[in-house]
Structures are given as C-alpha cells and as structure tokens.
C-alpha cells in the first residue's frame, strides 16, 4: 500500500513539469512574434518619406545582415520548440509506462488479496468440518455406550417344520406363481384332453417324423404337444426286427395372458378362487405343486406357510425367467414336503 501511494504522488509532479514546459513554449512564441514585429517596423522605417527630408541612405549589407540574424533566431527558436515537444512526448510516454506499472502492481495486489481471502475461507471450512466430525464422534461414542448397556431384545425366528420329502403319486393340484399372482393350472384337464386328441394325430405321422398340435384354451392355458415316430430293434423269431412306434416328445403350457390368477394377499383371503378350490380337496390326499418364477420366490414362502397352515403338502417347481411350464416322458415327478 505504501508503494502505491508513492507512485501516485509522483503523477502530479510530472503534470506540473509539463505545464511549465508548455508555458515556456508559449513565451517563446510570443518572443518570436515581438521580434518579427520589430523587424517589420525596422523595414518600414527604412523606407524614405516623401514629405520629410530624406535621411542618409541605409546600407543594404547591414539590412541583409540584420534580416539574417532575425531569421537565424527564428530557426533557433523553432528548433528549441521541436526539442521541447519531443521532451514533452517523451515525458508523456514515461508517464504512461509508469501508470501501466502502477496498474499491474494494483492488479497483482488484488489477486494476492483474493487468494488470501480464499485460503482463509478454506481454513474456516476445514475448521467447521473438524468440529462437525468431532460432534459425530461424540454422538457415536454415546450410542455405543447405550448399546453396550442395553439388553438385547430376543429375536423370534419363524420357521416351518420340514418333513421328509416324498414323491407325489396321489392327487396333484398345480398353480403358477408369477409377478406375485397365483393362477390355477388346469393340468389334469389338459392332460386328459391330450390323451383324447393324440390318437387323432397318428395319421399325420405317415409322411413326417413328428407333428405338433395345440389344445385349449382351458382356464387361461393352451397346451402344445409334439408326437414323434421312432424306430427300435425288437427280438422276433430268433432274430431282430425293426419296429416303429409313436411317442410323446414333450408338451408345454402357454398362458393366454400374463395377469392370470389373483394377487397373493387376495388369494389367501376367504372367498377367493384359490381358497374355494382348496376347500373342495382333502389335504391328506392332495399335494399342491407351485410352479414359481424368480420374481416371486419371496411370495412362495408366504404361500407355502399358508398351505402348511391348511394342512397341504407343497411341492415347489422353480423355473427360469421366461421358461414355459411343461413336461415330457423323461421328466421328473414333483417331490412334496
């Protein structure tokens, strides 16, 4: 700040010097005008007056010398004026450079002051964060002490008894659990329709090795089944012979829409289609098979608990996402618990 004041104090002195120089130039101009006027008067006085008696003739050589002297003075003064103008321009240039230096110093000073203010703000923010962290630490210590002194509440683990698994051979009821909805699968009804329709398709296998047919819909599901013609060796008359027969390759159940059935909470309530269907069956002779998809594994635990409460054995058949429900002669039977 002191340097800044000194530099600004020098600026008025420079302006005063320039004023003095300008005044000096004005004085020189006035002096030139006076000398020119005197030279003019001298030339007028040198002319003879007709009315007055003529004076002694003027020496021409002296007049030329006087004029040359005046002209020399004029040139000297003009040269001096030019030097003063150059000096003024030089001083102005020096002043402009000095002002630029002063402005640069001021700008640098402002930047340093701003940087100092930013560091101070950062220090203040760090102090605040430190105080907040200390407060959190004290709070955590208090909570830890409270937990150490408190008696833990007993945890109740709910579980279902798991009987020995057994293969299902009696009445089996099938349901699909998808998107949290329970839908009845008319498995037995479609299988009965398959047994009735398959003999009608035998004639189609004369010209091809397999044929696919579609049945239904029943209860919101269609059945697609495939029959195939196979050959095998069989003993006959002490030798072997080639025989042909028709076998069921596989069948799949295709739902007519995705929102079949009822939401699980509604299905477990009284008066639902699911509850009414279970009431017509004997729990001791019926196994409920649930075909469950990955998005409903959690709901399957709830459904299994409800079926256990009603006395039914439950078999779970998990399926990959998007995989259809189906069966084949090589497939496995449900295992209930």
Q: How far is CA 109 from the centre of its chain?
A: 40
Residue 288 CB-density burial (10 A; 0-12 exposed, 13-18 middle, 19+ buried): buried
The per-residue pLDDT for 164 is: 42
Whether pTM exceeds 0.75: no
Q: The tokens of 256 are what?
A: 């007519």
Task: Say what percent of the chain tops pLDDT 90.
Answer: 28
Instruction: Check pLDDT > 70 for residue 67.
Output: yes
Could you identify the residue written with the tokens 């309530």? Answer: 269
- Angle of helix 60-149 versus helix 2-46 axis, rounded to 10: 170
Could you identify the residue written with the tokens 């009603």? Answer: 310
Q: What are phi and psi of 279, to 5 degrees?
A: -65, -25
Q: Quick one: which of 320, 314, 292 has its CA closest to 161?
A: 314
- Cis check: omega of the bond before 217, within 30 degrees of 0: yes
What does the pLDDT look like over 186-219, one tens digit per residue? 999 999 999 999 888 888 888 888 899 999 899 9
**Average pLDDT rounded to a whole number, residues 146-158:** 59
The per-residue pLDDT for 273 is: 92
User: Is the Cβ–Cβ distance between 95 and 8 less than 8 Å?
Assistant: no
Residue 252 CB neighbours (<10 A): 16
Distance, CA of 95 to CA of 104 (rounded, Å): 14
Query: Which residues have CB under 8 Å from 188's CB, separation 6+?
Result: 172
**Average pLDDT rounded to a whole number, residues 138-157:** 68
What does the pLDDT look like over 96-133, one tens digit per residue? 888 888 888 888 877 877 776 777 878 878 888 888 88
pLDDT band per the 50, 70, 90 thresholds, residue 44: low
Output the CA–CA distances (angstroms, integers) from residue 206 to 189, 195, 201, 235, in the order listed: 29, 20, 10, 24
Q: The tokens of 50 are what?
A: 């007709």
User: Worst-scoring range by mean pLDDT, 14-23, 47-56, 186-195, 327-336?
Assistant: 47-56
Instruction: Check pLDDT > 90 for residue 258.
Output: no
Average pLDDT, the chain: 79
Instruction: Check pLDDT > 60 for residue 336.
Output: no
3-state secondary structure of 243: strand
What does the DSSP assignment read for 245-272? EEEEEEEEEEES-S--SEEHHHHTSTTS
Q: How far is CA 232 from the centre of its chain?
A: 64
Residue 6 CB neighbours (<10 A): 9
Higher pLDDT, 156 or 255: 255
Could you identify the residue written with the tokens 């459904």? Answer: 303
**Measured torsion, CA atoms of residues 141, 145, 151, 152, in degrees rounded to the nearest 10:** 20
């Amino acid at each position: 700040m002191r340097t800044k004041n000194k530099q600004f104090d020098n600026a008025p002195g420079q302006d005063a010097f320039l004023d003095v120089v300008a005044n000096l130039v004005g004085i020189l101009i006035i002096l030139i005008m006076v000398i020119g006027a005197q030279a003019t008067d001298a030339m007028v006085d040198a002319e003879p007056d007709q009315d007055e008696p003529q004076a002694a003739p003027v020496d021409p050589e002296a007049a030329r010398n006087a004029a040359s002297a005046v002209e020399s003075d004029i040139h000297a003064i003009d040269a001096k004026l030019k030097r003063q103008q150059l000096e003024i321009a030089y001083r102005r240039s020096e002043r402009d450079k000095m002002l630029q230096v002063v402005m640069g110093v001021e700008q640098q000073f402002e930047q340093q002051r701003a940087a100092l203010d930013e560091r101070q703000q950062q220090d203040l923010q760090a102090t605040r964060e430190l105080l907040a962290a200390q407060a959190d630490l004290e709070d955590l210590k208090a909570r830890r002490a409270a937990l150490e002194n408190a008696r833990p509440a007993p945890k109740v683990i709910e579980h279902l008894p798991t009987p020995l698994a057994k293969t299902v051979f009696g009445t089996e009821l099938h349901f699909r659990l998808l998107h949290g909805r329970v839908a009845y699968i008319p498995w037995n009804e479609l299988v009965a329709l398959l047994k009735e329709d398959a003999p009608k398709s035998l004639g189609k296998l004369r010209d091809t090795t397999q044929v696919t047919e579609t049945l239904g819909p029943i209860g919101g599901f269609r059945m697609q089944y495939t029959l195939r013609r196979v050959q095998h060796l069989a003993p006959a008359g002490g030798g072997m012979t080639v025989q042909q027969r028709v076998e069921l390759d596989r069948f799949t159940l295709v739902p007519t829409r995705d929102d079949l059935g009822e939401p699980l909470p509604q299905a477990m309530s009284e008066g639902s289609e699911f509850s009414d269907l279970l009431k017509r069956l004997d729990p001791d002779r019926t196994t409920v098979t649930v075909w469950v998809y990955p998005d409903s594994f959690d709901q399957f635990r709830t459904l299994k608990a409800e079926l256990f409460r009603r006395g039914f054995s439950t078999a779970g058949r998990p399926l990959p996402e998007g995989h259809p429900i189906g069966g084949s002669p090589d497939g496995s039977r449900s295992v209930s618990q």
